[in-house]
Amino acid sequence: MTHALTFALAALAAALLTGCGTLSKDDGGRAAPPKTDAPKTQPPAGPAAPAFEPIIVSLPFRVDLSFSEGALAKLRETNADMGVAADYYGAPKDPGMEGLDPDLGVWLGGEMETIDAGNRSLTLKGQFDAARVAREVSGDARVKVMAFPVRAYAAEATVTCTEFDEYLSIAVETGGTVICTLVGE
């Protein structure tokens, strides 16, 4: 502790001797601005980019999955699970905007659930940034739901499922349906 106190006093004395923190008599006792020899070459700062606060909303909706007998038998035979994925997106206000998804436009996020194969319903969260929709999307947010076998190549190659694609507000009201069958059924 004695060494720290000695060091602090020495640093204070050095600062006073070099003029650091001196007051100028001609400016009413205010601290003098630091003097630099560097030229001022930076342009004046323009207006700062606005900070956008996200507004996360959740519009949960139900998806019903149904399977043909053949598809269900193939899934059970191969011990495959089902992946159910939802992508939230919208048509861009500016089609020339950078970072657009080639298939979806403005991608607003997504979610995926893995479930056992079988006829069932599940509820997806429907979460997206409403502030971003207001800034970048023309119209309302949409949802595209896909289902597919996972963890079993034989099932992935032979089971196909329809897709559900709708405005999210309508999906909340009506729910969605995805039907899985064997390829060629």
- 127: Cβ contacts below 8 Å, ≥ 6 apart: 56, 57, 58, 88, 109, 111
8-17, 70-79, 136-145: lowest mean pLDDT where? Answer: 8-17
DSSP SS3 for 79: coil
Q: What is the CA radius of gyration of the chain?
A: 31
CA 147 – CA 115 distance, rounded (Å): 10
Query: For residue 84, what are the β-bridge partners?
Result: 113, 147
pLDDT (0 to 100) of residue 185: 87
Task: Classify residue 167 as exposed, middle or buried by CB count within 10 Å of its CB (0-12, 13-18, 19+).
Answer: middle
Q: Is residue 157 part of a domain?
A: yes
Q: Which domain holds residue 121?
A: 56-182
Q: Is residue 18 part of a domain?
A: no
Whether residue 97 is predicted with pLDDT greater than 50 in this model: the reply is yes
Whether residue 18 is predicted with pLDDT greater than 50 in this model: the reply is no
pTM reported for the whole predicted model: 0.70
Token pair belonging to 77: 């035979």
More confident residue, 83 or 18: 83
Residue 180 near residue 147, CB atoms below 8 Å: yes
Q: What is the CATH number of the domain that holds 173?
A: 2.60.40
Whether residue 19 is predicted with pLDDT greater than 80 in this model: the reply is no
Looking at every residue in the chain, the average pLDDT score rounds to 82
CA 72 – CA 158 distance, rounded (Å): 11
pLDDT (0 to 100) of residue 9: 39
Q: Is residue 44 part of a domain?
A: no
Q: Is residue 90 part of a domain?
A: yes
26-40, 86-100, 143-157, 166-180: lowest mean pLDDT where? Answer: 26-40
Reported as a single tens digit per residue, the pLDDT across 99-145 is 999 999 999 999 999 999 999 999 999 999 999 999 999 999 999 99
- The total domain count for the chain is 1
Whether residue 27 is predicted with pLDDT greater than 80 in this model: the reply is no
Whether residue 22 is predicted with pLDDT greater than 70 in this model: the reply is no
Q: Is residue 171 part of a domain?
A: yes
Q: Is residue 122 part of a domain?
A: yes
Q: Is residue 83 part of a domain?
A: yes
Query: For residue 185, what are the β-bridge partners?
Result: none
Angle, alpha carbons 93-102-59 (nearest 5°)? 60
